[in-house]
Amino acid sequence: MLYTRKGDKGTTKTFACDQRISKSSIVAEALGALDEINSFLGLARAKAGKTSFKIEGKRIKFFDLVLEIQQNLFIAQAEIAGSTLSITKDKIEKIENIVDEIEKILPPIKSFFVSGATELGAIFDFARTLARTAERRVVAAKEEGKVAVSADTMSYLNRLSSLLYALARISGHLEGVEEIKPEYK
């Protein structure tokens, strides 16, 4: 059944909670923000199709990488909801490695760039902003003592926006589109 009527009064339930919590609580906000970035990444994955890039002699398909990120976000959501699941160090290291390798391909960053060099790049840029929002919501829930979040999950959420920025840049680079700097006029 797609509806239960249990949330009709503005409450929801998580793994770690025997009682219902407000849908406007900081925990619900954090879970909702993670759901939002995960859902939006579905658009990125669908748009990416068969597009790929090569690092360390290995072809990386955007589709597969984004799906892996989505799966990892489900782990983060489960942790925020109170399960014992958590992001592992190897997932953080994988993101760092991909970002490091993409940086070797691209010209160095000397300024901000205007989003939208390519459609896929714009999608990744928007996903980056959603990832930052989700990270802020999780930090807020953690700081208020409403959830326990592992250091590795926090690191993963922080690295995710860097990865999405790198993917936005490499997607434009692959299409031969020049990045546009803001003019500040």
Average per-residue pLDDT for the chain: 90
Q: What predicted TM-score, i.e. pTM, was given to this entire model?
A: 0.90
Q: What is the CATH number of domain 22-174?
A: 1.20.1200.10
pLDDT the model gives residue 139: 97
Are the C-beta atoms of 157 and 169 separated by less than 8 Å?
Answer: no
Closest CA to 87 of 160, 136, 13, 162: 160
Q: Which residues are CB-neighbours of 50 under 8 A, at least 6 positions away?
A: 61, 63
Q: Tokens 């589709």 correspond to what residue?
A: 63
pLDDT the model gives residue 62: 97
pLDDT the model gives residue 2: 75
Q: What is the CA radius of gyration of the chain?
A: 18
10-residue stretch averages of pLDDT, the chain, 185 residues long: 66 63 76 97 96 92 98 96 94 97 89 88 97 97 93 98 96 90 88
